[in-house]
Every structure is written in C-alpha cells, then in structure tokens.
Amino acid sequence: MNRKQVSVDDGTRISKPFRPPSSALSVPKVAIAIGAHPDDIEFYMAGTLVLLRRAGWETHYLNIGNGCCGSMQYDARKTRRIRRDEAKRAATVLGAHYHESFCNDLEIFYELKTLRRLAAVIREVKPTVVLTHPPVDYMEDHTETCRLVVSAAFSHAMPNFRSIPPRATSEYDVTIYHCMPHSLRDPLRRLVMPGAFVNTTSVQAVKRAALAEHQSQQNWLDVTQGLNSLGDKVDEMGRTVGRLSKKFQFAEGWRRHLHYGFSTNEVDPLRQALGKNYLINKTYERNLNQEF
C-alpha cells in the first residue's frame, strides 16, 4: 500500500497508509450463496447466482449442512457422501466454486466454532454480495444458517475476531440478500413479500438442471413433503414469485439486509449488476417507512 507523509500538532512528520477515495476503488464482482442443506441454493437462490455469473461475477456455493439426514434409504454416512457428490455436480452446473460443508443436518447451531469456520470462508472469498436464507423460516437449520451468515459477514473486517483457519481481514462493502421463506410464509403462517424480484426466466432451465443433480432427494421429498417432481416444484415456486412481480414469468424474491456495519452507505449491488432483470417492489419499500 502507498504511504504519504502527514503532520501532527508538534510538527512531526509521520507515515500512514494512503487510501484512495472510495470512488477510485473498484468494486470486486464476487458473490456467494450460502444454504443450510444441499438443494436449498438450487430451490431459492440459483437463478440469481447464475445471472451474476453471466454478468461477469465470480460465484461461490456453500451448504453449511452436509445433508446427512436427508434419506429414508441410507445411513447418515452414506447419505453424507452421496449428497456431497450431488452438491459438487450441482455447483458445476451453476458455474460456481464449491466449498465443503462443515455441519451435520439438525446440528447447525449459532455457536463459536461454526461461526469461526464460516468467517474464514467469507474472508477467503471476499464477497460483495451474499445470498442466504431469511432471518425466520419454517426450519431452524435455515434460520440458524442466516444468523451465522450475518455475523460472519459482519466480522469480515474485524481482525480481533479469529477465524478457523486464520484468514486475513479486508475492508470492503458487503451486501446481504435474504431469499424467500419456503412457501412465502413465516413459521406463523404469515405471508412474506419480496422486497425485490429477479427475473430468472432465462436461467430456469439451469436451475432445473442443477436441482436434477440431487437425485437422492426425490424419494426423500416425496415421502416427507409429497413432492412428486423436484423440477416441477422449482418451476411452481418460480412462477408464483413471477406472478407477484406482475412482470416476470419466473422469478426469485429477495429482501436486502440493513447496511449498518456491512457497507459505508446503503447500496444495492444486485440492481446495478442485473439491470432490467431486477425489479424493486415499491410497495415493500414504502411500507418500510410506515410508523406503527
């Protein structure tokens, strides 16, 4: 880093790092999608991730949970291995860098070791866009994943918070986007509306192809949730959000996290990156400022 000489009150000349104005700094085009389990990214976030890649962004793929509980046929060890292979293939379909999971299903807790490990991934990747679960969802693994992601991203520039393994901190703006909860409802059955819509019509086939790599989940979801076809379900979800947009055939919905502690100013990098494929929900924005 360049250094410049400055004066202090007693006339002493000291050297300190020179930082160019923020307008002179290039914004890294790096995004990471972080889900709780293998196939969560494909259901809720993959379309946006692919569009970012097509816009020239470097993209990353991480499931905190390894999927070991997602089978009625195999034991946890074999299920873990199967689902790891499926997730790696899905990440390849999406054109994203794959990162290893580090928790068992239903063992995703907001605890220090997991937070330190996730912080290391964030510091290594240095994403300016983070896609993850909503703060409240039907399943606690989703909710806990969100909590971990928010804190790990918050600590990206905190040298006194140690990551595992140790990774250097960096100062840059990061924006977190929360996907829609399953069925667009919170655990108390209340409807949740997107703050913005991303047009995934042009990449819906890629979403289906990535989801199809999770072959082991067809039996699991058929038995536990009555889903006869993963592809049909992801299309149904996309059409539902698309209808809410009143513009797109297929869409993913997002809510942007408050920027305090994450970026110097309020920014919306998805809007800048995706252009006409990004639509702000003006009603949602107006309601943010309603007084109780």
Every domain of the chain and the residues it spans: 27-287
**Measured CA distances, 55 to 11, 44, 52, 209, 269 (Å):** 51, 19, 5, 20, 12
pTM of the predicted model as reported, rounded to 2 decimal places: 0.89
27-31, 62-66, 213-217 — most confident range: 62-66
Please state the rounded mean pLDDT for residues 131-144.
97
Looking at 3.40.50.10320, 1.20.1250.20, 3.20.20.70, 2.30.33.40, the CATH number of the domain 27-287 comes to: 3.40.50.10320
- Residue 34, pLDDT above cutoff 90: yes
**Residue 138 vs residue 224, higher pLDDT:** 138
Q: What pLDDT does residue 26 have?
A: 62
The identity of residue 144, as a single letter, is E
List 207's β-bridge partners, or say none.
Answer: none
**Alpha-carbon 188 to chain mean position:** 24
The rounded distance, in Å, linking the Cα atoms of 46 and 53 is: 11
The rounded distance, in Å, linking the Cα atoms of 35 and 248 is: 25
Q: What pLDDT does residue 10 have?
A: 39
Query: pLDDT over 90 for what percent of the chain?
Result: 81
Predicted confidence (pLDDT) per residue in 76-132, tens digit: 999 999 999 999 999 999 999 999 999 999 999 999 999 999 999 999 999 999 999
The model's confidence at residue 222, banded by pLDDT at 50, 70 and 90, is low
Q: What is the 3-state secondary structure (H, E, C) of the chain?
A: CCEEEEECCCCCEEEEECCCCHHHCCCCCEEEEEECCCCHHHHHCHHHHHHHHHCCCEEEEEECECCCCCCCCCCHHHHHHHHHHHHHHHHHHHCCEEECCCECCCCCCCCHHHHHHHHHHHHHHCCCEEEECCCCCCCHHHHHHHHHHHHHHHHHHCCCCCCCCCCCCCCCCCEEEEECCHHHECCCCCECCCCEEEECHHHHHHHHHHHHCCCHHHHHHHHHHCCCCHHHHHHHHHHHHHHHHCCCCCEEEEEECCCCCCCCCCCCHHHHHHHHHEEECHHHHHHHCCCC
**Alpha-carbon 173 to chain mean position:** 15
The model's confidence at residue 183, banded by pLDDT at 50, 70 and 90, is very high
9-23, 160-174, 210-224 — most confident range: 160-174
- Residue 162, pLDDT above cutoff 90: yes
Please state the rounded mean pLDDT for residues 22-37.
78
List 252's β-bridge partners, or say none.
Answer: 198
Q: What pLDDT does residue 217 have?
A: 82
